[in-house]
Every structure is written in structure tokens, then in C-alpha cells.
Amino acid sequence: MRRLALIPLLVIVFACNDSTLLQPEDEADLQIVAKRSTPKMIPLKGEGTWEWDGSPLVAPSPDCVTAGGTAEGHFTAVLNLTHLGRTSSLTVQCFNFAVSPQFIFTTETFTAANGDQLILYEPGTPLDPMPAGFDWGYPFEVVGGTGRFDGATGEGTAFGTLELTATGARGKVIVEGIISSVGS
């Protein structure tokens, strides 16, 4: 008698053990799956100062040469940036003075106090029109980083002022965009 009582239970278990129950079958299920796999985007904002000490341009890196560049320039910045706090950055610009625009691309690596890094990539196409009161501006793409920024994505704009000095140049920089909420 006990065996007969288990048969309906086994039939129910095997009937419910159909793998199609776990597959998205309609548009609503697909939207739920897509929403779960799309990172939440949060604001990325900051401002600070940048400076070029007049160091000469250097031979281009292989990435710069591949992109058509003939020289590289390096400069530093200090910003207060959301998700990093007070941060320093090293900016590497790839140039080709025989073309317009002369900037081929720029990479900016922001380093937080704990060593985590956020990396931005700016193509050589300046903003058009330029924001009022600013001398330069470029769109950027967040291309990852280290620590809590490993795998980060996003986009935005960086723009600023330019003041020539006796030995180089300096100015103000503003960063506005969005970043995926990776890490913590």
C-alpha cells in the first residue's frame, strides 16, 4: 500500500522536473533576465586641476603608433571624484600634429587612496559645440579599472580650461558621466 501512495508523488515530481520551466518563455521573462544582467548606472562627477610641467613629448607607445600617433604627452591631475574621493590621475595623450584634430586619443587612469584605479578612454574628437567658458572638452568611455572598478563601464564628458605658464600649462577639469555600480 505504501508503494501505491508513493507513485502519485513520484509522478508529480517527475512531471514538475521539466527543464523548460526554468527557461524564459515570453517577452516579460526575457526583460527580467535582461534587467538582471544590465549593470545599474550611477552618476560619476568630479572636478579638480590638471598640470603639465613642460616635459617634452615622448616616443609613442605601440597603441599610439597603431592608432596613427607620432608622439605622446603625459600630465597629471588631482580631482575629487565620486566613488574615488580625492584622486590623482595620469593622463597619456597620443598626438599626430600632421592631422586635425591633433589628439588621436587620451587615456586617463585615476587612482584612489586605496590603490583602486578607474580608466577612461577619450577618442580624439572634441566636443562640438564646446561648453561656454571652457577651452577643451572630449567625450569619454569608462573602460574598466582595478579593484572595485574591475569591469566598470560607462560614459560621459571631460572638459576644462587651459592656461599657459612659463614652463608648461595648467587648468581646471570637470568630469560628468555615468558608471556601472561595480564593487563596493
Q: Do residues 44 and 154 touch, judged by C-beta distance below 8 A? A: yes
Taking CA atoms, 39 is separated from 33, 36, 154, in Å, by 12, 8, 10
Instruction: Identify which of 183, 107, 178 has the alpha carbon closest to the alpha carbon of residue 146.
Output: 183
Q: What is the pLDDT of residues 16-61, one digit of tens each?
A: 454 444 455 666 655 555 555 677 899 999 999 999 888 888 999 9
Domain boundaries, the chain: 2-36, 40-180
Taking CA atoms, 137 is separated from 48, 53, 73, 128, 159, in Å, by 15, 20, 17, 9, 4
Q: What is the pLDDT of residues 68-106, one digit of tens each?
A: 999 999 989 999 999 899 999 999 999 888 888 788 899
What does the pLDDT read at residue 11? 42
Higher model confidence: residue 170 or residue 131?
170
What does the pLDDT read at residue 142? 97
What does the pLDDT read at residue 9? 41
Judged against a pLDDT cut of 90, whether residue 111 lies above it is answered with: yes
Q: If DSSP states are collapsed to H, E and C, what string results for 94-147?
A: EECCCCCCCEEEEEEEEECCCCCEEEEEEECCCCCCCCCCCCEEEEEEEEEECH
Q: What is the pLDDT of residues 124-138, one digit of tens each?
A: 888 888 888 889 899
- Give bridge partners of residue 141 from the DSSP assignment: 121, 155
Mean pLDDT of the chain: 82
Q: Do residues 166 and 52 touch, judged by C-beta distance below 8 A? A: no
The answer regarding whether domain 40-180 maps to CATH 3.30.1370 reads no
Judged against a pLDDT cut of 50, whether residue 4 lies above it is answered with: no
- Give bridge partners of residue 10 from the DSSP assignment: none
* Alpha carbon 25 to its chain's center: 34
